[in-house]
Structure 1
Amino acid sequence: MSTPRTVLVIGGGAAGNAATILLRRAGITVDLVEADDDWNATAGSGITLQGNALRVLRELGVWEQVEQSGYGFDAVGITAPDGTVLHVAEDLRTGGDDLPATVGMRRPQLQRILSDAVRAGGATVRLGVRAESLDQSADGDGVTVGFSDGTESRYDLVIAADGMGSTTRAAIGIPDRPEPTGMAVWRVAAPRPAGVTRTDLAYGGPAHIAGYCPTSESTLYAYVVEAGRDRASIPADSYADEMRALAQHYGGRHWPEITANITDPAQVNYTRFDRMLVEGSWHRGRVVLVGDAAHCCPPTLAQGAALSLEDAWVLAQLLAATGTWDGALLQAYYERRVARVRPVVEASVQLGQWQLDGVRDADVPGLMVRTMSMLRELP
């Protein structure tokens, strides 16, 4: 059998971009299609990147740009709703001692860095294009893909990186869908008060969690977690008012200034917390899932992007190491990843459930340390 060397990546988010960069570096021909015709118009105010995410970003060759664009720190503060600092913990450096424990940055900035690297690597990128049909019936050694622009191409492998709502996942017969956990989060980008040099989290008050994360020398993103509501019932032009009404109950040195800057509803986003973990395998034939298409969890451990980047890294390593791309290889990818992903999904959900249930004596620090310690190992 000839060595497969053509790949289609569906989805231009973190996982899809990472897979494309790494496969191109290995000399594999890659086409990437992204349904959005404005690749860099990524929604979201900010992102928290733990060390294991930074480790993959370094492998992608973009760590220096991330370091310059974001804000690195090594501690997290736990506060009361009035701002009283109860505890400051040193974060584990899950990416190794030569990387910060955490970097906060603007999500659109990370997307620009990754998309620029994709183009620099020589992949063919088509925006505003969807994969509408996947035909594996011919010989099982490839996939013929029909696209929304009327074109058709054959690939040796298709990587589905099209997110939680993946249409590819459904198209290949995997029935799993994200399920709400009962929580949702308000997020906003805002100016960074000079004294904000780490993430601080307040538990309790009118919301379950209120926190903020520096994203540059001049910016941060703030978030307030509440019981989930029907997003359709909340008028978009009231988003700033809704978030400000919750945030104003949190005090201390920085929350009043942050709250005063929650004024533009267009800068506020509201997202429910979902969970999903596809079991058994993440592939059907020559189509394989990565990132949120295969698993998602609440951001209570800030591991969503990190796990997605790790998926891409592991899959690219396996594909580059052999010319035999078959079910056994893709099953090995699943088994290697699910053993690492499952405890993170379960811990992330458990941390939120304790909040929903009002459990006062939950071992939150212990669960977080145990889970994050596991992530220091290479994926």
Structure 2
Amino acid sequence: MRVLVVGGGITGGVLALALAQNNVEVVVAELRETLGGVGHGITLQGNALKAFHAVGVYDELAEHGFAFDKLRMFRADGVQLMEMPAPPMGGDAVPPTMGALRADLAGILARRVREAGVDVRLGTTVTAIDDRGDEVVATLSDGSTETVDLVVGADGIRSAVRSMIGIDVQPKPVGMGIWRVVARRPAAMDSSGVYYGGPKFKAGYTPISDELCYAFLLEENLDRAYVGEHPNGKILKEHGQGYGGVWGEVRDSLADDAIVNYQYIEAILIEGPWHRGRTVVIGDAAHACPPLIAQGAAMCAEDAVVLAEMLTSGAPVDAVLPAFHARRIPRVKMVLDNSLQLAEWEIHPDTPGADPGRIMGQTLGALCAPA
């Protein structure tokens, strides 16, 4: 089997590695000039860690990250409301949760992909897909062509592959934006924490190493000039006033010129088939959820491991693709629907019956089932 993977992020990296480990010839076309990741942090639930364990990168990631087994919820002033144990979604081989730097995860995946013999084409993407029934001839932006058994679009929420195969589903704004920053980890921070009831939608943090943490603030969509990474520490500190406890300690520790990432939060779900012929989209190209349950990377990594498992089972590609969609859609739709419900409650906190803790607990409990 020969597979072209378009996109070398978490989804494409895990898929390429899983396939190569099963003797599949893989070409990765990545538009960026490097496979490195952005610098802010990421919260990885146990099911994400299980996927990384399946492709052999968990142990190295664990050397850099910070593992924990609970989530704490606070009032804006720092008074604890509840502590919720993190379910063992990844089984016994991995911890319930881990914080890490995205750049560490991306770097480990990039090196392991190359070590596995994957043909990585940087600064390159697909420009045309010619599906001939029993094979696909893909034209790349460098003018070369690749004849493969399958093309996989792992090229993110604004997937070009999705558009090229005629799936006209576009991401929609959720109505909130997120500030992210890496800072020194206070000694008292030993798990993720989220703060409710303050002047913005929500604040929170995750420890990502012995020395560092990742803090975030959710608020309304701001001017597009804020989008991206900028030395906006002073602005984040101003917007984060009104929160106490450990989050307030992290905020106050930031330099005025600290590098801060701000992004609009968007969501997308292709409810119908994710494939056309021998081309399929997975990960954020097929489903991207708000980061309210910290399941974005997990759903992407699960997609990659499950698709690789099914492709190397001996079943024909044209049977695998619909079966893959049928297996994945109930799980990713549950995560997306519940994440959107949480976002709605955080935008409108006075909604009768709003119960974020219940939704989070039910979702994480359900995700203990195998992917």
The 1:155/1:235 distance shift into structure 2, 3 A limit, reads closer
**What is the distance in 2 between the residues matched to 1:182 and 1:281?**
27
**What is the distance in 1 between the residues matched to 2:327 and 2:146?**
30
* Alignment partner of 1:362 is 2:354: yes
**What is the distance in 1 between the residues matched to 2:58 and 2:187?**
25
**What is the distance in 1 between the residues matched to 2:93 and 2:108?**
21
How far did residue 141 of structure 1 move? 1.3
**What is the distance in 2 between the residues matched to 1:69 and 1:82?**
31
Residue among 107, 111, 114 paired with 1:112 = 107
Q: After superposition, where does 1:45-194 map in structure 2 within 5 Å?
A: 45-136=40-131, 139-194=132-187
Residue among 245, 258, 262 paired with 1:270 = 262
Residue identity matched to 1:261:
L
What are the superposed Cα offsets for residues 255-282 of structure 1, whole Å, 9 maximum, x if unpaired? 23443314335x2111111111102100
The answer to whether the 8 Å contact 1:130/1:147 transfers is: yes
TM-score, length basis structure 1: 0.94
The alignment partner of 1:299 has SS state of coil
* Segment drifting more, 248-257 vs 112-121: 248-257
Residue among 305, 311, 324 paired with 1:319 = 311
**What is the distance in 1 between the residues matched to 2:172 and 2:246?**
37
Which residue of 1 is the match for residue 33 of structure 2? 37
The answer to whether the 8 Å contact 2:8/2:29 transfers is: yes
* Alignment partner of 1:14 is 2:19: no
**What is the distance in 1 between the residues matched to 2:230 and 2:118?**
39
What are the superposed Cα offsets for residues 40-83 of structure 1, whole Å, 9 maximum, x if unpaired? 1x224100000000111100101111111100001111111111
The 1:347/1:234 distance shift into structure 2, 3 A limit, reads closer
Which residue of 2 is the match for residue 307 of structure 1? 299
Q: After superposition, where does 1:330-341 map in structure 2 within 5 Å?
A: 330-341=321-332
The 1:10/1:237 distance shift into structure 2, 3 A limit, reads closer
The answer to whether the 8 Å contact 1:77/1:200 transfers is: yes
The answer to whether the 8 Å contact 1:243/1:262 transfers is: no
How far did residue 362 of structure 1 move? 1.1
The 1:216/1:311 distance shift into structure 2, 3 A limit, reads same
**What is the distance in 2 between the residues matched to 1:99 and 1:290?**
24
Percent identity at matched positions? Answer: 39
Which residue of 1 is the match for residue 334 of structure 2? 343
**What is the distance in 2 between the residues matched to 1:168 and 1:300?**
27
Residue identity matched to 1:34:
E
**What is the distance in 1 between the residues matched to 2:272 and 2:19?**
25
**What is the distance in 2 between the residues matched to 1:194 and 1:10?**
41
The alignment partner of 1:301 has SS state of coil
The alignment partner of 1:158 has SS state of strand
The answer to whether the 8 Å contact 1:94/1:376 transfers is: yes
The 1:157/1:249 distance shift into structure 2, 3 A limit, reads same
Aligned CA-pair RMSD:
1.6
**What is the distance in 2 between the residues matched to 1:299 and 1:234?**
17
How far did residue 331 of structure 1 move? 0.6
How far did residue 247 of structure 1 move? 2.0
**What is the distance in 1 between the residues matched to 2:293 and 2:123?**
33
**What is the distance in 2 between the residues matched to 1:108 and 1:232?**
24
**What is the distance in 2 between the residues matched to 1:119 and 1:332?**
29
The answer to whether the 8 Å contact 1:281/1:334 transfers is: yes
Which residue of 2 is the match for residue 213 of structure 1? 206
**What is the distance in 1 between the residues matched to 2:228 and 2:50?**
40
The 1:277/1:7 distance shift into structure 2, 3 A limit, reads same
**What is the distance in 2 between the residues matched to 1:276 and 1:236?**
23
Tell me, which stretches of 5 or more residues in structure 2 are unaligned?
none
How far did residue 196 of structure 1 move? 0.9
Residue identity matched to 2:4:
L
Q: After superposition, where does 1:244-263 map in structure 2 within 5 Å?
A: 244-253=237-246, 255-263=248-256
How far did residue 283 of structure 1 move? 0.4
**What is the distance in 1 between the residues matched to 2:226 and 2:118?**
42
* Segment drifting more, 170-179 vs 76-85: 76-85
Residue identity matched to 2:180:
R
Q: After superposition, where does 1:226-241 map in structure 2 within 5 Å?
A: 226-232=219-225, 239-241=232-234
How far did residue 240 of structure 1 move? 2.2
How far did residue 300 of structure 1 move? 0.3
**What is the distance in 1 between the residues matched to 2:255 and 2:178?**
15
The 1:371/1:194 distance shift into structure 2, 3 A limit, reads same
